[in-house]
Chain A
């Protein structure tokens, strides 16, 4: 029973981490290798709001999300827009930005136990006979809420529909009057905000560290590759797959191997079927 409950929670955690990455890639075909860095910045922003500015938890979270949106949009508008379409440069540029942010934070002394976010609420509840603490309950609630909101946003608002149009066929979308650069800015901002959401929900479980940023990047890539880059349903299903695999290795082998599982999942998927479980890319575009 514990495996099922914690498997579901772990899967939702992974899904939250990967959501921003898969959204940006799905809409603008931009592999955002700075995703892990954005996640850590969000955690840091919330921490600053709480500890340095002394704000209320809710206010500082909202403020951090706004900041994330601005950072994401600025990153796209300032740098990535100039290399868009050149796959190599996109990867290198976004990876370099991510590295720069993370290593800068490390240089500022960002490690160890200094930076922790408090949980939303103490205590725990019993689910199916397994004790689960409140923070993990919030992960489930907020995760479900984010998915619902995102679904509603992309199906019922004009910008959301434009984003989906761009994800399906960028040229056709441009012919119908959708400004692809503006939509890519929106997508990038949205992706960063989602990284921020993941950060403030998940970080209270651990410390705000640079390593967490790298791990988030690896896990997000793992989920997206296994599910198929750019496919949202695929990402959700893949996060359940990897989530349960991780819990199983944790229970039956050793906790060290959790990240190895994710890495191996990436490699095996890439080798066997690079478009992933639900990828909509044409086979021809990704392998010879």
Chain B
């Protein structure tokens, strides 16, 4: 090799990837398994998780990781498909949790009813409250969403309503632990694949248009605001479902549902998992939450560890491991002489 020879890295799609994009996907077992295996591994893996976990404690950890994964999908959808960076994951969790707790303890509804009602009503409430902020961009939207959980928390604290600082206690639990475990996992799988479908439809194209060039979308006669509102509504549905679910498994709903954890972990999960892939955030959440459980005895040090991981990833490896994995799966690379 001469000293002044220069090389560049060339990446090419694998032949099988190109073939499986069209009708030839069903031409052979090899092509079919190329498409199906990753998806099946994911689905079966999730369905097996509760069976593999050794103790009730770890079962609970998996359920909580699922809640964080739902939030992370929501964050990913908002940030990487619509271009709204939301720092207020805790807002959705808090609203959903409090609604479920109110419906359950004050009105005596069972979880079968409280969770759907809290999800829908919470989604509507969150969306309506966030609608005035939708025109905001970048930093401004992030700051506004950061303020929402703080305001609700301070208002509940100051007015001493809804149980004040103690929260609402005595929320009923799920009738059967297996329902508790599988409800959230099946929900997660359904949400993942339906949102993946959504962003690949025409509507997803419009969403990406809003992110990349909202003026062009506006010029095409599509209301940006309604697209953003729909995305926020989907995200709040996910968050409120998670909140309602948490209220029922903890049998309690309190101010800590507005805590920073629910805002920061989804962001960290999305960054390390790979933004814009929708699967990445789930894997991120399933990496971070167990780490956090292992580190529980260190108290708030675990938040420090998240933040350090987050900073390292965002500075040095901002693509995240899912994007990296997808590239390795779909493409090969070689050095070419310039």
- Alpha-carbon gap, A263 to B311, bound state (A): 27
Q: Which of B158, B218, B311 contacts A93 (CB 8 A)?
A: B311
Q: Does A205 contact B (CB under 8 A)?
A: no
Q: Does B65 contact A (CB under 8 A)?
A: no
- Give per-residue flags for A20-46: 1 if the beta carbon is below 8 A from chain B beta carbons, else 0: 000000000001000000000000000
What residues of B have a CB within 8 angstroms of the CB of A97 in the complex? 307, 311
Given A96-B307, A266-B144, A271-B132, are A88 and B138 also a contact pair (CB < 8 Å)?
yes
Closest to B151 in A: A263
- Alpha-carbon gap, A66 to B303, bound state (A): 28
Contact A260 B311 (CB under 8 A): no
Q: Say which one of B21-29, B96-104, B173-181, B293-301 lies at the interface with A.
A: B293-301
* Shortest distance between the CB of B157 and any CB in chain A (Å): 7
Q: Does B36 contact A (CB under 8 A)?
A: no
Contact B304 A31 (CB under 8 A): no
What residues of A have a CB within 8 angstroms of the CB of B271 in the complex? 92
Contact B151 A267 (CB under 8 A): yes
Contact A99 B264 (CB under 8 A): yes
The chain A residues found within 8 Å of chain B, CB to CB, are: 31, 79, 82-83, 87-89, 91-93, 95-97, 99-100, 103-104, 106-107, 218, 221, 225, 229, 254, 256-257, 259-260, 263-264, 266-267, 270-271, 274, 285-288
- Give per-residue flags for B64-104: 1 if the beta carbon is below 8 A from chain A beta carbons, else 0: 00000000000000010000010100000000000000000
Contact B318 A89 (CB under 8 A): yes
* Shortest distance between the CB of B49 and any CB in chain A (Å): 29
What residues of B have a CB within 8 angstroms of the CB of A87 in the complex? 85, 138-139
Contact A287 B135 (CB under 8 A): yes
What residues of B have a CB within 8 angstroms of the CB of A221 in the complex? 143
What residues of B have a CB within 8 angstroms of the CB of A225 in the complex? 143
- Alpha-carbon gap, A93 to B132, bound state (A): 27
Q: Which of A95, A218, A257, A287 contacts B87 (CB 8 A)?
A: A95
Given A103-B303, A256-B158, A286-B140, are A91 and B85 also a contact pair (CB < 8 Å)?
yes
Q: Does B214 contact A (CB under 8 A)?
A: yes
- Give per-residue flags for B138-162: 1 if the beta carbon is below 8 A from chain A beta carbons, else 0: 1110111001101100110110000
Q: Which of A82, A97, A263, A288 has the most CB of B within 10 A?
A: A288
- Alpha-carbon gap, A90 to B29, bound state (A): 46
Q: Does B11 contact A (CB under 8 A)?
A: no
Category for how many chain B residues contact A: 35 or more
Q: Does B42 contact A (CB under 8 A)?
A: no
* Shortest distance between the CB of B211 and any CB in chain A (Å): 11
Given A89-B318, A96-B307, A100-B308, are A260 and B144 also a contact pair (CB < 8 Å)?
no
Closest to A218 in B: B150
Q: Does B267 contact A (CB under 8 A)?
A: yes
- Alpha-carbon gap, A145 to B225, bound state (A): 46
- Alpha-carbon gap, A97 to B225, bound state (A): 33
What residues of B have a CB within 8 angstroms of the CB of A254 in the complex? 158
Q: Which of B79, B138, B260, B306 has the most CB of A within 10 A?
A: B138
Closest to A253 in B: B158
Closest to A109 in B: B299
Contact B267 A92 (CB under 8 A): yes
Contact A260 B158 (CB under 8 A): yes
- Alpha-carbon gap, A87 to B142, bound state (A): 10
- Give per-residue flags for B202-236: 1 if the beta carbon is below 8 A from chain A beta carbons, else 0: 00000000000011001000001100000000000
Closest to B298 in A: A107
New A-B contacts (15) at CB < 8 Å, excluding given A83-B318, A95-B264: A83-B315, A93-B314, A97-B311, A99-B304, A106-B299, A107-B301, A107-B304, A256-B157, A259-B150, A264-B151, A267-B148, A270-B136, A271-B132, A285-B137, A288-B214
Contact B264 A260 (CB under 8 A): no
What residues of B have a CB within 8 angstroms of the CB of A271 in the complex? 132-133, 144
Contact B147 A266 (CB under 8 A): yes
- Give per-residue flags for B257-271: 1 if the beta carbon is below 8 A from chain A beta carbons, else 0: 000100010011001
What residues of A have a CB within 8 angstroms of the CB of B298 in the complex? 107
Closest to B143 in A: A221
- Alpha-carbon gap, A82 to B135, bound state (A): 28
* Shortest distance between the CB of B56 and any CB in chain A (Å): 28
Q: Does B310 contact A (CB under 8 A)?
A: yes
- Alpha-carbon gap, A82 to B298, bound state (A): 30
* Shortest distance between the CB of A276 and any CB in chain B (Å): 10
Contact A103 B314 (CB under 8 A): no
* Shortest distance between the CB of A75 and any CB in chain B (Å): 10
- Alpha-carbon gap, A99 to B305, bound state (A): 10
- Alpha-carbon gap, A259 to B154, bound state (A): 8
- Alpha-carbon gap, A87 to B268, bound state (A): 16
Contact A99 B314 (CB under 8 A): no
- Alpha-carbon gap, A79 to B315, bound state (A): 7
Contact B144 A100 (CB under 8 A): no
